[in-house]
Amino acid sequence: MVHLQSALTPAALAPKLRRLFELSAAKIRSIEKSWAPAWGAPVFTVGGQYTSRGWTEWTQGFQFGSAILQFDATGEREFLEIGRDRSVSLMAPHLTTPVFTTTASIMSAPTATCSV
């Protein structure tokens, strides 16, 4: 059951959000360092190790989107570069030309960040 806490404020969540994005950053960096894009998308684990299947390539968008969300939350440019570079270089086969053009335009636009 969900218990609503009406007195909860965004400031009260800040320490937990900082921790969330610390863990997220470590996981994104770990996957970026240890996973070869040729293996497909690291969708689930088997025996504690990421694996993929032939039907999982479309989920690379989540992998690279996570890096972009990480940048949005923290302002760490490293994650924008991972998300943008990997999306453009590896996701293009999954996109049609008009959508790819729109996506590339959005991804090169200036972004706003928020700090937690």
pLDDT in tens, 69-107: 999 999 999 999 999 999 888 887 766 555 445 445 555
Whether residue 14 has pLDDT greater than 50: yes
C-beta pairs of 37-45 under 8 Å, 24+ apart in sequence: 37/86, 37/90
Decide: 76 and 18 in contact? Cβ < 8 Å.
no
Q: Among 20-24, 49-53, 62-66, whose mean pLDDT is lowest?
A: 49-53
**Per-residue pLDDT at 58:** 74
**Per-residue pLDDT at 95:** 66
Domain membership of residue 31 (yes or no) is yes
Domain membership of residue 4 (yes or no) is no
- Please provide the average confidence, as pLDDT, over all residues in the chain: 82
Name the domain count of the chain: 1
Residue 114 pLDDT grade (very low, low, confident, very high; cuts 50, 70, 90): very low
Domain membership of residue 101 (yes or no) is yes
Domain membership of residue 1 (yes or no) is no
For the residues 28-52, what does the mean pLDDT come to? 88
Decide: 87 and 103 in contact? Cβ < 8 Å.
yes
For the residues 51-78, what does the mean pLDDT come to? 88
CA distance 36 to 22: 23
Decide: 41 and 60 in contact? Cβ < 8 Å.
yes
Decide: 97 and 88 in contact? Cβ < 8 Å.
no
| φ, ψ for residue 95, nearest 5 deg | -120, 150
Domain membership of residue 57 (yes or no) is yes
Question: Residue 29: which domain range?
Answer: 13-105
